[in-house]
């Protein structure tokens, strides 16, 4: 008998029928003798609906109140799933994040889990109950409701699995595993049997929303055995593993392709080429809590510099206003903002031992006449910023160029 934490995403609990199907699945695991803690998301579309509702009342919704509002989505599904389980004769008990208590910091809308009290959960499991926990939410030291950022139910699942030292954390979603790239964009994407934590973390950081970044960080840090599976069909899914040696399988150079549509690009042009300029440009952006992604500086013939960087599209207007404010002070020639860019990244631990990945990537893009605007690399990834309209074409051609297409 083992302890399994299962997390079901929005589509998996998107209707009463789907919730019934989840209850059947949970019961099958119970019948096989396992203890189960089940984390659920809100019904699909619900979190978006609540955010839109908030925005219809307050343009920039108050963060504390927004968390009070959006956390209700998960409160609905925990209750419904428990009802479905009880209807089938299985004792079950629902918990909101605060009831568990999943203690977080007080960073509303992007809180981090600090501690989990497992007392009630363990007591319920000992009584043979299935414990159903609301994903995406916690409570701070003052008792305020907090949420963990979009996709945060994955993190609830993994954090509970770590706290309970579960034998496995299973993330059930609407695809049957982690693919070489988003299967909704590339038809020839292939399901991976395994992927390393390091690669999964890089894929998630570069925009693959199949797992929230923090859930992968957590799983790596606490060595939680993590698997991504479909709630709609049976199958082995994808195991996220520490092991880099994929044994019998030849290690591919590139394991996957990730992309991020949320990017916007800003440039401040013609600033003096003197020490301290990059800091003067980027410090106010950081102080405004705007996360900067790719940064590139290039020098013009007249000894001035251009600094270009990308931010989340939601932050573009704010960042542009800050740069406009700096432009006169720094004697800049021009400030430009562009929200029609995307970032495409190739990821793979195999890159460490292989040269020529960049040239293969750039050649494939050149063949399609796709202009590269910015380039950034790390040990196991290469990212390019390109025009948004080329996204699908770029991902598809890179998928083929790196030999990832399904046969
Ligand atoms: P859930 O509601 O279950 O949390 P998400 O929508 O958050 O589901 O994540 C699943 C989606 O992630 C898939 O439907 C798929 O479109 C997308 N996705 C993006 N990149 C990948 C990838 N590399 N492998 C699998 N799915 C991916
Ligand atoms: N319901 C939340 C969201 O839509 C959390 C989650 O589904 O993981 O972001
Ligand atoms: Mg998700």
List the chain pLDDT tens, one digit each, 407 residues: 799 999 999 999 999 999 999 999 999 999 999 999 999 999 999 999 999 999 999 998 999 999 999 999 999 999 999 999 999 999 999 999 999 999 999 999 999 999 999 999 999 999 999 999 999 999 999 999 999 999 999 999 999 999 999 999 999 999 999 999 999 999 999 999 999 999 999 999 999 999 999 999 999 999 999 999 999 999 999 999 887 665 445 578 899 999 999 999 999 999 999 999 999 999 999 999 899 999 999 887 888 999 999 999 999 999 999 999 999 999 999 999 999 999 999 999 988 888 889 999 999 999 999 999 999 999 999 999 999 999 999 999 999 999 999 98
What pLDDT score was predicted for residue 250? 57
Instruction: Give the residue whose CA is nearest to atom 5 of ligand 2.
Output: 151
Before 101, cis peptide (omega within 30)?
Answer: yes
CA of 212 to the centre of ligand 3 (A): 7
CB 210 within 8 A of CB 258: no
What would you measure as the largest C-alpha separation in the chain, in angstroms? 78
Check pocket membership of 47 for ligand 2, CB cut-off 6 A. yes
Q: For ligand 1, is residue 230 a contact (CB within 6 Å)? A: no
Residue 150 Cβ < 6 Å to ligand 2 = yes
Residue whose CA lies nearest to ligand 1 atom number 1: 9
CB 344, CB 208: distance < 8 Å: no
Q: What pTM did the predictor assign? A: 0.94
Distance in angstroms (rounded) separating the CA atoms of residues 282 and 319: 10
At residue 245, the pLDDT reads 64
Whose C-alpha lies nearest to ligand 1, atom 6? 210
Instruction: Classify burial at 299, counting beta carbons within 10 Å of its beta carbon; exposed 0-12, middle 13-18, buried 19 or more.
Output: exposed
Q: Would you say the CB of residue 10 lies under 6 angstroms from ligand 1? A: yes
Q: Using CA positions, which residue lies closest to atom 4 of ligand 2?
A: 47
């Amino acid at each position: 008998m083992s302890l399994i934490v299962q997390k079901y995403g929005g589509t998996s609990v998107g209707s009463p029928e789907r919730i019934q199907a989840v209850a059947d699945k949970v019961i099958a695991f119970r019948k096989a003798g396992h203890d189960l803690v089940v984390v659920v998301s809100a019904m699909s579309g619900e979190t978006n609906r609540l955010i839109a509702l908030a925005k219809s009342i307050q343009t920039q919704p108050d963060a504390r109140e927004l968390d009070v509002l959006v956390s209700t989505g998960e409160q609905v599904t925990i209750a419904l799933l428990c009802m479905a389980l009880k209807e089938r004769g299985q004792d079950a008990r629902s918990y909101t994040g605060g009831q568990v208590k999943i203690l977080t910091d007080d960073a509303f809308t992007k809180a981090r889990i600090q501690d989990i009290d497992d007392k009630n959960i363990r007591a319920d499991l000992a009584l043979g109950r299935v414990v159903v926990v609301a994903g995406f939410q916690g409570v701070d030291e003052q008792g305020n409701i907090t949420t963990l950022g979009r996709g945060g139910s994955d993190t609830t699942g993994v954090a509970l699995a770590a706290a309970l030292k579960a034998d496995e954390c299973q993330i059930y979603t609407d695809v049957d595993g982690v693919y070489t790239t988003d299967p909704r964009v590339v038809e020839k994407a292939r399901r991976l049997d395994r992927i390393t934590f390091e690669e999964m973390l890089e894929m998630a950081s570069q925009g693959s929303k199949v797992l929230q970044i923090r859930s992968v960080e957590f799983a790596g840090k606490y060595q939680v055995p993590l698997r991504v599976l479909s709630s709609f069909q049976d199958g082995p899914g994808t195991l996220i593993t520490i092991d880099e040696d994929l044994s019998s399988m030849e290690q591919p150079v590139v394991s996957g392709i990730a992309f991020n549509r949320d990017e916007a690009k800003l440039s401040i042009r013609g600033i003096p080429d003197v020490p301290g300029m990059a800091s003067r440009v980027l410090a106010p952006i950081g102080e405004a809590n705007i996360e900067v992604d790719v940064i590139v500086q290039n020098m013009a013939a007249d000894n001035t510099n251009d600094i270009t960087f990308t931010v989340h599209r939601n932050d573009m207007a704010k960042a542009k206003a800050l740069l406009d404010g700096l432009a006169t002070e720094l004697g800049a020639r021009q400030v430009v903002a562009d929200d029609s860019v995307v970032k495409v990244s190739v990821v793979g631990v195999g890159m460490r031992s292989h040269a020529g990945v960049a040239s293969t990537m750039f050649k494939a893009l050149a063949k399609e006449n796709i202009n590269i605007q910015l380039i950034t690399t790390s040990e196991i990834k290469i990212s390019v910023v390109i025009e948004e309209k080329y996204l699908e074409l770029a991902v598809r051609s890179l998928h083929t160029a790196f030999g990832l297409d399904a046969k």
